[in-house]
Amino acid sequence: MILRTPNYNDCEFISECYENWVETDKGRVFPVDVRNWIKHWRKTSNIEQGLIGELDGSPVGVVIFSKAESTSTIYEIVVKRLGVGHGKGMWLALRDRLVSEGVVVADFEALPGVIADKTLRGDFEKIGESIGSKTGLPLVKGRVTADMRI
């Protein structure tokens, strides 16, 4: 799995990834929305970034995160096909990238599902709970460190 910078040709693909995402009151994510995200990521690449996960030359998902010195916040990992391990592959690739850049801790908010379950079980450090601003769904706030098994 590699992570690469998205380009405008990825707008349709990223939009399609969000078709599997939970329903929100914000409505569907359209390619024009993604185009604006890419513009934003280009302007704020030293703070907030979006990267495409690619496996064997094909895009599989998108990860959105921010980075400040030795900490990071992971906002979303969204994959096109659920249940085939692409999310975990992207998570591991992002961890390796962040650790190589000096990040030692990453916070995240997880929607109900695998990562939230792992956090509630104690596999990741739980630091709180909230309601998602985009989804209105309950979120589990968690933290991973560079030496933690994912």
Highest averaged pLDDT of the listed ranges 118-122, 126-130, 145-149? 126-130
Structurally, the chain folds into a number of domains equal to: 1
Judged by phi (left if over 0) then psi (alpha if -120 to 50, else beta), residue 122 lies in: left
**What pLDDT, on the 0 to 100 scale, is given for residue 54?**
96
Cα 23 to Cα 78: distance, rounded to the nearest angstrom: 13
Give domain status of residue 90, yes or no.
Answer: yes
Lowest average pLDDT, out of 24-38, 62-76, 83-97, goes to 24-38
Residues 111, 75 contacting (CB under 8 angstroms)? no
Q: Which pair of structure tokens corresponds to residue 121? A: 């079980």
Residue 13 maps to a domain:
yes
Residue 137: inside a domain: no
Strand (E) or helix (H) holding 143: strand 138-145
For residue 145, is it within any domain? no
User: With bands split at pLDDT 50, 70 and 90, how would you rate the model's confidence at 144?
Assistant: confident
Sequential DSSP letters for 32-96:
HHHHHHHHHHHHTTTTEEEEEEEETTEEEEEEEEEEETTEEEEEEEEESSTTSSHHHHHHHHHHH
pLDDT at residue 19, rounded to an integer:
83
Mean pLDDT, rounded, of the chain:
87
Q: How confident is the model at residue 25 (pLDDT cuts 50, 70, 90)?
A: low
CATH number, domain of 85, equals 3.40.630.30
> In this structure, is residue 50 part of a structural domain?
yes
The pLDDT assigned to 22 comes to 65
Q: Which of 52, 48, 47 is nearest to 63 (CA)?
A: 52
The whole-number pLDDT of residue 41 equals: 92
Report yes or no on 39 lying in a domain.
yes
> Residue 80 falls within a domain, yes or no?
yes
Q: How far, in Å, CA of 16 to CA of 45, rounded?
A: 23
**Do the domain assignments include residue 112?**
no
Phi, psi for 122 (deg, rounded to 5): 100, 5
Tens digit of each residue's pLDDT (9 = 90 or more) over 73-115: 998 888 888 788 898 899 899 989 999 999 999 998 888 777 8
Given a cut of 90, whether residue 21 has pLDDT beyond it is no
Residue 88: domain span: 2-103
pTM confidence score: 0.84
